[in-house]
Copies of this chain bind each other. A is one copy, B any other.
Amino acid sequence: MVKIAVMGYGTIGSGVVEVIDINGGRIAQNAGQEVQVKYILDLKDFPDDPHHDLFVKDIEEILNDDEVKVVVETMGGVEPAHTFVKRCLEAGKSVTTSNKALVAKHGAELLAIAKEKNINFLFEASVGGGIPIIRALTSSLTADEIEEITGILNGTTNYILTKMDVEGSRFEDVLKEAQELGYAEANPTDDVEGYDACRKIAILTSLISGKTVDFEEIYTEGITGVKPEDMKYAAAMGRTIKLLATSRKTDAGYSAMVAPFMLDSEHPLYNVHGVFNAVFVHGNVLDDAMFYGRGAGKLPTASAVVADVVDIVKNLDNNTGITFTADRLALPDVSSVKNTFFVRIEGDGEAAKKAFNVAQTVTVPGISGEVGIVTEPVTEGEFKAAVEGLDGVISSYRLA
């Protein structure tokens, strides 16, 4: 039997305990031995919880108990999670975390400690919730050069955009509804500004490149500016708007970006609706693959955390080699990246047609005094310069 500790008894942490309660037999079968929760660390009191006797308030109790071999970190946020996880690893306890902020900021350091101690630091649930994308990259797609990873990595924004597409609603109204349903936080900034997706694509890019991607260097646009009219233009082209987090291998290295894209109906991520997440991967020999599932939610995310626990228990004194170093991966300047753009512009669009090589003009019944145009592929830098020289640009999107 392996004893574990759970740090942080919020949605995911309590989900982890629940999954072990529900599926203990199956988990023991897969891990080779029973997994038992010995401590739950939380500053709050849970007197009515069935596991109330497991609660502790002091991390020292966990650190000093040699019987605890595995620690689950589900506190969220960078501190004190970082300090606690580091101390656990230094004490020889393997750790799994669902905390993308922690992994994006301190992943390399924590992976290095785990490697040195010949234990494991795993973080399947930090990207894509229940979708096993990290293990796919680190254990399955190991014969490939990964040339592209593009994901819908944030369920809140995908829910909002799906609703806007289907119902023609305004961003503000759907956000309010999502908050009432618990699909969006009271402070939705991390989700709607793309910061959450940005940390996740930084983690995935770090894993495929082997070096740390500084998430603050990734060009990131959110969805707060998406208007119902934009969605109508997308629909007129047989497209929809999705927040994509993408990383592509170029001659200059991995080029990463988070932004709302207009996807055509043949795009593998076009049919990913509502709170679901999906990750598209292109390998140089694998060709296209896609992984789809619940990117958030108590039990699906806890399922991924507990799968990490199983992996750790099967490798208690064996670092399984998942790693990226603290070396910073140099990201190519985004201005040199080529994209195809859609632009809404006031008037008849004649000026835009002079500024760009225009591939297509789009009009939407009921929307007058403006047109939409689609450019031929152009670098981000050239596009930005051209837009700055134009009057009356209402909005613009990249196409995918």
Flag A276-319 by CB within 8 Å of B: 1 or 0 each. 10000001111111111110010110111111011100100000
- Is A80 an interface residue, CB under 8 A from the partner? no
Q: A136-B136, A268-B292 are contacts. A27–B286 as well, Cβ < 8 Å?
A: no
Complex contacts, A329 vs chain B, CB 8 Å? none
Q: Which residue of B lies closest to A138 (CB)?
A: B30
Residues of B within 8 A of A132 (CB): 136, 140-141, 289
Q: Is A210 interfacial (CB-CB < 8 Å)?
A: yes
How many copies the complex holds: the figure is: 2
Instruction: From known contacts A136-B132, A145-B26, infer whether A285 and B300 are also in contact, taking CB-CB under 8 Å.
Output: yes
Q: How far is the CA of A289 from the CA of B272 in the complex (A)?
A: 12
CA distance A93 to B136 in the complex (A): 25
Taking a contact as CB atoms under 8 Å apart, the answer to whether B23 and A143 are in contact is yes
Instruction: Tell me which residues across on chain B come within 8 A of A143, comparing CB atoms.
Output: 19, 23, 26-27, 30, 302-307, 309-310
Residues in B with CB closer than 8 Å to A193 are none
Name A116-148 residues within 8 Å CB distance of B: 124, 130-132, 135-136, 139-145
Would you call B145 and A140 a contact (CB within 8 A)?
no
A32-B321, A287-B130 known; A139 and B135 CB under 8 Å?
A: yes
Across the A-B interface, give the 6 residue pairs with the lowest CB-CB distance, nearest first: A132-B140, A143-B306, A289-B293, A30-B142, A290-B292, A142-B310
